[in-house]
Amino acid sequence: MCAIARDAGAFLLQERARFSRDDVEYKGTNDLVSYVDKETEKRLVEALSQLLPEAGFVTEEGTTGSGSDRAGLNWIIDPLDGTTNFIHGLPIFSVSIGLAEGNRPIAGVIFDPNRDECFFGREGAGAYCSRGTAAPERIRVSAATQLSDSLIATGFPYYRFEGMPNYLRILEDLMHQTHGLRRMGSAAIDLAYVACGRFEGFFEYNLHAWDIAAGTLLVREAGGIVTDFDGGDSFLYRGDIVAGCGAQSELLATIQKYWR
């Protein structure tokens, strides 16, 4: 999986060097896509089909006709998480490959080609990060237990704005309680950074399974906690998520003050 993600990342960097905004398409309001997303996904689907032929696919760009059975085994992939960053030349984007059995992610890889960092993990086996040619290192979530010691990542909705007023109230509260808020533009990278302790928490709503399947596996294998906004376990296909270390419960409580 890591090798497949690295190959896809190399293609992203190759195309980034010659990419033109004339190649951008719109799937919806502020929802951008390009030939790079689609071609990368085709490459991932082809390689992953050979790796595990019995698995179905849940993909962002819908390049595979094999479909999926949500109760079964599925590859859940985002070929370019951070498309808007990529289009604008901001070097924060990633390849995300998750493998899930039903609603439970069981393996995941997130590759950041710009930093040459590959985060990977498997259920029950821990989470790791390899940088360049260096040997992989075990990663763990931050030891912080309070929001007052935390740096929190989030994302800003680009459609379904009806939740924005409450979301802004959450942000305002967290600005007073934490070391700060960050918006990277790639949920996969946000979750990888929670897993390795760079962020103490991450929350967002209006996400898709391909944004978070790999990252949620990494956070849990790194000793973290992942829930939906209700504190339950339905985050993968419901789309709202709160992930973090020991401060996750306090982060969740802050969100619930305004979201319910």
Torsions phi, psi for 84 (to 5 deg): -65, -40
Q: How many residues comprise the chain?
A: 260
Known binding residue 23? Answer is no
CA dihedral 66, 104, 40, 182 (to 10 degrees): 150
> Is 221 labeled as ligand-binding?
no
What is the helix (H) or strand (E) element at residue 85, kind and residue range?
Answer: helix 83-87
Q: Is 81 annotated as a binding residue?
A: yes
C-alpha dihedral, 80 to 192 to 100 to 156, nearest 10°: -60
Is 60 annotated to bind a ligand? Reply is: yes
Q: Name the residue with tokens 């619930």.
A: 256
Note whether 216 and 206 are within 8 A (CB): no
69 is in an annotated binding site: no
Judge residue 135's burial from the number of C-beta atoms within 10 Å of its C-beta, 0-12 exposed, 13-18 middle, 19 or more buried.
exposed
Q: Which residues are known binding-site members?
A: 60, 78, 80-81, 211
Q: Which residues are known binding-site members for Mg(2+)?
A: 60, 78, 80-81, 211
